Amino acid sequence: MRFARFRSGLAETFHDVAGIALDSDGTVVFASGDVTTPLYYRSAIKPFQALAAARAGLKLPDEHLAVTCASHGGYPVHLAIVERILNDHGLTTDDLRCPPDFPLSPGASRVQAATGHSTKQRIFHNCSGKHAGWLAACTVAGWDTSTYLDPDHPLQQSVAAIVGELTGVNPLPTGIDGCGAPTLRGTIEGLARGFLRLGTDEELSPIATAMSRFGALVSDNLRGSGRIGVTLTGPSKVGAEGLFALCGPELSIAVKSTDGDETLACAAALEIADRLGILPEASAQSLAGVRSPPQLGGGLPVGTLELVAV
């Protein structure tokens, strides 16, 4: 798929997005671009990383489970849940091994600065929910909590096995993600297969339900990925470098912006959903600004982002 950024009626730049959709049988019902080139899944596989914690024995209420799957914005509600997960398992924010950071959402950074928190903190990192869930799982399973990010740790070994099982792609060798965790290899097609399982497998059902019920906890209400999460009925997840995936009961979609642009990835996923007839009219209207976001000049809308070729 090729998108153009129009400004004052003229196409200024062009951007490509690869995408694929699978039906309930795993049959390809839409494909555009190269969906088999190896890539790192980054945060798009957080639901599968959460499954490793569940298999280790961790049980969480839906709100907490949603945050363990999150690339959260860093708002007070996100941080409170991260702290609760840690405290409930005898842990503190000092146990987190994600690097200190500012909240991902600018609005959340302003909230923290206004309350006197103007420096980077580990809990502010958008992956702190995932790390809190992993740490809690380690306490339940009796595993070492200081080395939970080591690729040889039982938790990370479980993550790698699960991702390979769900995507059908060998996830090795691993890289290192921005949060310090091992990041696994795969393809856009593999990500779509994994999300198809997220929408259909009984073992993954609690995770899918939590993500669907609490989309604003998985992201926030402002970013395009978060607005999709709170509007559509199935779980969805963004990943770094322009990855985005979603699923319903009978379909999964995965896309990758070659520019690494989350905005383009979200727009492409909605375009595919609409072409396949699974985007309700009310949802399409609510997400119009995500599917074709305005381009600003001087702080004012001067154009739009639009699909120009498939």
> How is the chain split into domains, by residue range?
2-309
Q: Which is nearest to 185 in space by CA: 202, 171, 198, 195?
A: 171
CATH T-level assignment (fold) for domain 2-309: Beta-lactamase (3.40.710)
In this prediction the pTM is: 0.95
Query: Cis (ω within 30 of 0) for the bond into 173?
Result: yes
Mean pLDDT of all residues in 264-280: 95
- 2 φ, ψ to 5°? -120, 130
The angle at the Cα of 134, spanning 46 to 163, to the nearest 5 degrees, equals 40
Beta bridge partners of 40: 185
Q: Is the pLDDT of residue 217 over 80?
A: yes
pLDDT at 243: 97
Q: Which of 142-151, 192-201, 292-301 has the lowest mean pLDDT?
A: 292-301
Beta bridge partners of 32: 19
H/E element, 137: helix 128-141
- Residue % of the chain over a pLDDT of 90: 91
Q: Are 134 and 53 in contact (CB under 8 A)?
A: yes
Output the six-digit token pair for 282: 């009310």
